[in-house]
Amino acid sequence: MSASPLSFIHDLRWQDLSPAVQQRAELNLLDLIGVAAAGTQTRLSRIIRDHASEDFGGPHPMLFDHRSASLPGTALAAGMTIDSVDGHDGFNPAKGHIGCPLFASALMVAHHEQVSGQEFLAAIVMGYEFGARASVAQHGTVPDYHTSGSWGGVTATAAGARLMGLDPETTRHALGIAEYHGPRSQMMRCIDYPTMVKDGSGWGAMCGTSALRLAAKGFTGAPAITVEQAPEYWADLGERWYSLEQYYKPYPVCRWAQAPIEGALTLQRAHNITSDQIAKIEVHTFHESVRLAMQNPKEADAAQYSTSFPTAVALVRGDVTPADVAFDDALNDPEVLRLSNAMEMHEDNHANSVFPQRRLARVSLILRDGTRHDGNWMEPRWDPTAPPSEAELRDKFHGLADPVLGETRANAIEKALSNLAETGLTPLTDQLFQPINARTT
């Protein structure tokens, strides 16, 4: 029998979870931390950490920073730092990301509450399960497509309510506050006009953390409609484990651009094509991917919310890394821009019909000599149906973290996560709450 949302928040036990679910929690955290490390190097992260320190004053340590802020301020800074490099895990039915707002808030609350490693891990697993259903419930009951921060705020509150040991009635009010005050930000506006507001995850983490603090003081806000009055979306809670159905990103750009990247690289490798041979790229895909229309991005956030630009990067360099899309001064390569402007995007009814569960694209490369190579339908790598191996996710973490943190510190984070259930949070937070500089690396 499935559990009710409120009972599931507080009753889930780490020792009752399957080994597969337990391992996935560790790997999800590792992936998020690697993306966060890379994110600290972005202009977005520097601005938001300054803002948290200056305008959200408090005693709580910030992720990868020497300064402190209020608990909501630290969650804001962590969530937006992760979101500043669009490489974190996601959930296809949500068209968004559970882990970013969840981890950004839960880490800060868990450190403040001094919970055990097992309790923190259980809250993360619970949060992925809660967030999967909260996201689909919101998308199914409201007309607009909102960012992950909207339902991510409710998800962060659920995890925090467990970590703080709130009673069921206070938990109800905390969830209601987060749902009511959550950032119902318009995702497609940021697709059409990409800026640093991104997916709203940092704001959701801040809102969810604030809701916890308010409810604990007696502030009321129940009910959360998507939790209490949409039972059809919660019927399999405790029976189906959506934490095993997240996707991961091999490239730090919007998921909607990743099938075209795979299609282009597959053709290039199959026919030994160099970028200078290509005259035109044609892509048939779903509507939302076509809307990622920034062929000549001037800022990093626009480069990450583009289909043509990262596909061009992949064709020129064989890969897409944060160095290619996370910094404004990396966006001026003439050959990349030539190919980006040589891409034609076409909306396809078949690709539309299977979105969002599947993100399809079909790529054709037309060469300067007139040769045409047509590809098959492609999907992004590392979907739940063909997930990455443990080794691939660990390699991704080190590829992101080692250049920023240093190999020694990255290894210490990886070891602390592996031992988290036994040794507790302190070995991990000792690494995460240090600044990034020559001394700590």
Residue holding tokens 């990455």?
388
Q: Supply 70's token pair.
A: 């209020």
DSSP-derived letter for residue 143 is S
Confidence band, pLDDT 50/70/90 cuts, at residue 1: very low
Enumerate the H helices of 186-299 as residue ranges.
187-192, 201-216, 225-228, 258-271, 287-291
Task: Give per-residue pLDDT as tens, 343-384.
Answer: 999 999 999 999 999 999 999 999 999 999 999 999 999 999
Arithmetic mean of pLDDT over the chain: 96
Q: What percent of the chain has pLDDT over 90?
A: 97
> Of 77, 81, 80, 98, which Cα lies nearest the Cα of 89?
98
For residues 100 and 86, the answer to whether their CB atoms sit within 8 Å is no
pLDDT of residue 53: 97
Is pLDDT at 419 greater than 80 in this prediction?
yes
CA nearest to 185, candidates 145, 227, 135: 145
Tokens of 57: 């004053």
Please state, in angstroms and rounded to a whole number, the distance separating the CA atoms of residues 181 and 211.
8
Q: What confidence tens digit (pLDDT) does each residue in 166-190 have?
A: 999 999 999 999 999 999 999 999 9
Checking if the pLDDT of 3 tops 90, the result is no
Query: Minimum mean pLDDT among 112-121, 316-325, 432-441: which range?
Result: 432-441
Residues sharing a CB contact under 8 Å with residue 404, sequence separation 6 or more, in sequence order: 37, 38, 40, 41, 436
Q: How many residues does this entry show for the chain?
A: 441
The pLDDT, as a whole number, for residue 437 is: 73
Q: Is the model's pLDDT at 441 over the cut of 80? A: no
Phi-psi region at 165: left, alpha or beta (left = phi > 0; alpha = psi -120 to 50): left
C-alpha to C-alpha distance for 376 and 21, rounded to whole angstroms: 34
Distance CA 164, CA 212 (A): 8
pLDDT at 88 over 50: yes
CA triplet 396, 421, 211: central angle to 5 degrees?
85
At 370, list the tokens. 């007139």
Q: From the CB of residue 427, how many other CB atoms can be counted at a distance below 10 Å?
A: 16
Residue pLDDT, tens place only, 122-140: 999 999 999 999 999 999 9
Tokens standing for 288? 């939302």
The per-residue pLDDT for range 292-347, each reduced to its tens digit, is 989 999 999 999 999 999 999 999 999 999 999 999 999 999 999 999 999 999 99
Cα separation, 144 vs 137, whole angstroms: 13
Distance from C-alpha of 19 to C-alpha of 22, rounded to nearest angstrom: 5
The 3-class SS string of 327-353 reads CHHHCCCHHHHHHHHCEEEEECHHHHH
Note the pTM of the prediction, 2 decimals: 0.96
pLDDT at position 438: 52
- Using the predicted structure, report yes or no on whether residue 120 has a pLDDT greater than 50: yes
- Evaluate whether 112 touches 160 at the Cβ level (below 8 Å): no
Average pLDDT on 36-61 reads 97
- Under 8 Å between Cβ of 227 and 178: no
